[in-house]
Amino acid sequence: MKPTEFVKVNGQFWGEHLKGVAGHLPVSHRTELPGPMLFPRMMVLTETPDWNILELVGLSREYRTLEVRRQKLGSVEEYFGVGDGTAVMTLPGENLFKDATIATTAGRQALTERFPAAANLIGDEFVGPGEELLQFAPGNYSTFDRTLLVHTAGDSLRAHWVNFAIAIHRSEPADKYLDFLQSYSNARPHLDPIGTLSLPIDPAVLKADPFESTYLAHGLQDSTVEEFLDKHEEILLSAFGATKLVREPALGDLHPDFILERADGSHVIGRLELPVVDTTNGKKRRRVFRLPVQESAAELATYADYLKTADNRSQVKSKYDVEVTDPRLLLIVPSQEIVTPAPGVEVVDYDTILRLHLAS
């Protein structure tokens, strides 16, 4: 199947499928659903030499025509995993992961220690040693339906919650791929259509600006770091099991975006790799996502170095009432970006943070 055919088939299927679901279930079966029905906002279509990849990204309170993003990568493994060496899962033939977690051994341990709400998302577990998450053998389909992927390479970590994604070998004809999508959709329970999510939560939670803007960076382009943190404080606290958010602290001449103090007394120092606005000396500058994330990772490392000194920690304690020792280093990135992790740094995207928040 040529990339142009892949684009056409997905545009046809998902447009008809999601529009039909939106016009029927939230109206006719509202009382039978666990809670509000959420819809994807973007269709990311990725071309590699041997594979085509579809991923539905973001969530919305209502159906809207999907935005489409196309990109090219060198391999399917580059999209789904990091590192070299033994893979956690080898995927020959046809594979399905639904309501599941795929993680390296180190990544699975990190979920328990670092993300308390993840306990509500684990589902079926596929865990093993290795620094490459997935290895794709010759075959046709691998489907990831509401699947949490936790990659580790050395002391780096990348957590990504997948709403729905398919990797399909380029040898597969377009008509057979469309048949696969239709068959998979027909096999799903009527009240749980593919590509959607229904959660037993208060609908009012979904009406606030933070929910709207957290997905796909919508509404962020004109927000400053301070405005973002004001809106998203509750989301960050719940996703990371934290009790306190310190906004834009000054560590001498260094300025991280935030420090989170967790309930267990540990700390997270974070930077936003987002299209928010920096204000320096009265001038505004919009941040641009960098790939790979080495530059921001280096900045985070300087924050950690600063806090290795007892006098520096004492000053931070005096100014912000947080005693930071051996903090975790965090980058928050746009959901649709492909990320090369950096040593010693956690990389978590918008969709995953908000999904953890909604699961808490």
For residue range 11-69, list pLDDT tens digits in order. Answer: 999 999 999 999 999 999 999 999 999 999 999 999 999 999 999 998 888 899 999 99
Position 83 pLDDT exceeds 60: no
- pLDDT tens digits, residue range 262-281? 999 999 999 998 888 887 66
Q: Are 354 and 214 in contact (CB under 8 A)?
A: yes
CA 143 to chain centre: 17
Q: Are 139 and 169 in contact (CB under 8 A)?
A: yes
Categorize the per-residue pLDDT at 219 as very low, low, confident or very high, splitting at 50, 70 and 90.
low
- The tokens describing 10, both together, are 């997905």
DSSP 207: G
Partners of residue 246 on adjacent β-strands? 259
- pLDDT tens digits, residue range 126-183? 999 877 889 898 878 999 999 999 988 888 899 999 999 999 999 999 999 999 999 9
Q: Coil, strand, or helix at residue 278?
A: strand
Model pTM score: 0.93
DSSP 343: T
Distance of alpha carbon 116 from alpha carbon 114, whole angstroms:
6
Q: Which residues neighbour 147 within 8 Å (Cβ) at sequence distance 6 or greater?
A: 97, 98, 99, 100, 101, 102, 161, 162, 165
CA 116 to chain centre: 16
Average confidence score pLDDT of the chain: 91
Position 89 pLDDT exceeds 80: yes
